[in-house]
């Protein structure tokens, strides 16, 4: 059995469904409640509701025949309202919750543990134009809304290393850039309401044949990865033996703002109502330039991303039209309303 915490989050949702599809024995675990339990039950996937910050609740999990533990549970700024912000939340969930997971794995001899972190612990390297590999030094920014998130995720990575050295677990840490995919990048939580992301605005405008504005430098770009490529990397790591350590899971390519808009118009605009691009160089864009070396993942996991950005958009459109992920959209909207 593979246990997945954070199972009703964006990546977790895709992962659990894919593991089930590939006939893995999987247990979905999340803090969420009845609606989530009903959904997974309908899919034939066992679900346990529990809070990873409460050590006593781990008694709800099985103790035997567990092959691996995948932790995708975390608090991140996009899911925290301004009024509910508390720096301690990041430590409580992203560090202490992880410690509870690792203690559970150590006690029950679950050697394979996979944990994901954001790439923001190297944020200070982005503007330098470095191609960032697993040996690049950390460069946390200690101001801004992502600062406590980055601090907590870096501490979590250190905790994982401690359990590897001191308790002989076999942990794998995936460092992820922005992960794109339907069900996550249409909207974000801002000032106590759900608003469209830049990608969501571009897609909506393209579908309606409206003009799309490109702010700032259109050649500015960053490394992004599709959620299904991340899921494939996780499954590849679960299948591999004797693999440990940090891996960059990214595309290994720079996606420019120009390419992003060109591909969105190509995929989502109709021939009869094609969106036009309006350049606004006087307005700054929020693109964080970054690029990652993924050669280690290719070499040790036998994994490579299979989706180009255009491929991603084609698949994104199919998923959007299928309605299969409406549960994920509805859950995100409900959580934002309840926060």
Contact of 52 with 26, CB cutoff 8 Å: no
Distance CA 189, CA 18 (A): 27
Domain ranges of the chain: 2-338
Tokens standing for 315? 């698949």
pLDDT confidence of residue 316: 93
More confident residue, 157 or 145: 157
The owner of tokens 């608003």 is 195
Strand partners, 131: 291
Q: Given this model, what pLDDT does residue 33 score?
A: 74
- For residue 63, what are the contacts with CB-CB under 8 A and spacing of at least 6? 108
Angstrom distance (rounded) from CA 98 to CA 108: 15
Does the pLDDT of residue 310 top 60, yes or no? yes
What per-residue confidence (pLDDT) applies to 127? 82
Q: Does the pLDDT value for residue 190 go beyond 80? A: no
pLDDT band at 188 (very low <50, low <70, confident <90, very high): low
Token digits of residue 270: 């109709």
Q: Quick one: tokens of 116?
A: 């994901």
Q: How many CB atoms lie within 10 A of CB 147?
A: 17
Tell me the pLDDT tens digit for each residue of 112-155: 999 999 999 999 999 888 899 999 999 998 988 889 999 999 99
Two structure tokens written together for 281: 């160089």
Share of the chain above pLDDT 70, in %: 90
CA dist 187 to 10, 98, 138, 183, Å? 12, 27, 29, 8
Instruction: Return the pLDDT at 200.
Output: 85
Q: In 22-107, where does DSSP find H-type helix?
A: 34-43, 87-91, 98-107
**pLDDT tens digits along 38-80:** 888 889 999 999 999 999 999 999 999 999 999 999 988 765 5
Whole-Å CA distances, 18 to 13, 22, 25, 45, 288: 9, 6, 11, 11, 30
Q: Which residue has the higher pLDDT, 32 or 301?
A: 301
Measured CA to CA in angstroms, residue 118 lies from 153, 279, 298 at distances of: 7, 31, 20
pLDDT averaged over every residue in the chain: 90
Q: How far apart are CA 83 and CA 71, in angstroms?
A: 27
- pLDDT tens for each residue of 252-304: 999 999 999 999 999 999 989 999 999 999 999 888 899 999 999 999 999 99
- Of residues 298, 145, 291, 158, the one with CA closest to residue 229: 298
CB atoms within 10 A of CB 193: 10
Q: What pLDDT, on the 0 to 100 scale, is given for residue 193?
A: 58
Architecture of domain 2-338: 3-Layer(aba) Sandwich (3.40)
Share of the chain above pLDDT 90, in %: 73
Q: What is the pTM of this model?
A: 0.92
Per-residue confidence (pLDDT) for residue 120, from 0 to 100: 92
């Amino acid at each position: 059995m593979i246990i997945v915490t954070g199972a009703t989050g964006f990546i977790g949702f895709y992962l659990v469904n894919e593991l089930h599809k590939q006939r893995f024995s999987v247990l979905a675990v999340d803090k969420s409640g009845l609606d989530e339990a009903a959904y997974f039950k309908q899919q034939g996937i066992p679900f346990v509701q529990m809070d990873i910050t409460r050590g006593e609740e781990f008694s709800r999990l099985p103790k035997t025949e567990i092959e691996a533990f995948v932790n995708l549970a975390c608090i991140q700024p996009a899911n925290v309202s301004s009024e509910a912000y508390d720096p301690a939340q990041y430590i409580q969930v992203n560090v202490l919750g992880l410690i509870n997971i690792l203690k559970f794995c150590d006690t029950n001899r679950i050697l394979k543990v996979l944990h994901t972190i954001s790439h923001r612990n190297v944020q200070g390297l982005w503007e330098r134009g470095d191609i960032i590999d697993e040996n690049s030094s950390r460069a946390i920014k200690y101001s801004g809304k992502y600062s406590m998130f980055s601090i907590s995720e870096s501490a979590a990575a250190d905790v994982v290393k401690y359990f590897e050295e001191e308790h002989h677990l076999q942990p794998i840490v995936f460092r992820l850039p922005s992960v794109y995919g339907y069900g996550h990048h249409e909207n974000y939580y801002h000032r106590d309401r759900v608003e469209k992301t830049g990608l969501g605005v571009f897609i909506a405008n393209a579908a309606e044949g409206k003009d799309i504005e490109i702010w700032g430098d259109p050649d500015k770009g960053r490394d992004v990865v599709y959620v299904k490529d991340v899921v494939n990397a996780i499954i590849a790591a679960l299948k591999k033996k004797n693999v440990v350590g940090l891996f960059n899971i990214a595309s290994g390519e720079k996606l420019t703002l120009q390419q992003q808009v060109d591909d969105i118009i190509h995929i989502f605009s109709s021939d009869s109502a094609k969106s036009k691009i309006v350049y606004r160089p006087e307005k700054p864009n929020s693109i964080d330039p970054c690029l990652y070396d993924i050669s280690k993942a290719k070499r040790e996991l036998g994994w490579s991303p299979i989706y180009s950005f255009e491929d991603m958009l084609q698949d994104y459109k199919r998923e959007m039209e299928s309605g299969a992920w409406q549960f994920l959209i509805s859950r995100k909207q409900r959580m934002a309303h309840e926060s």
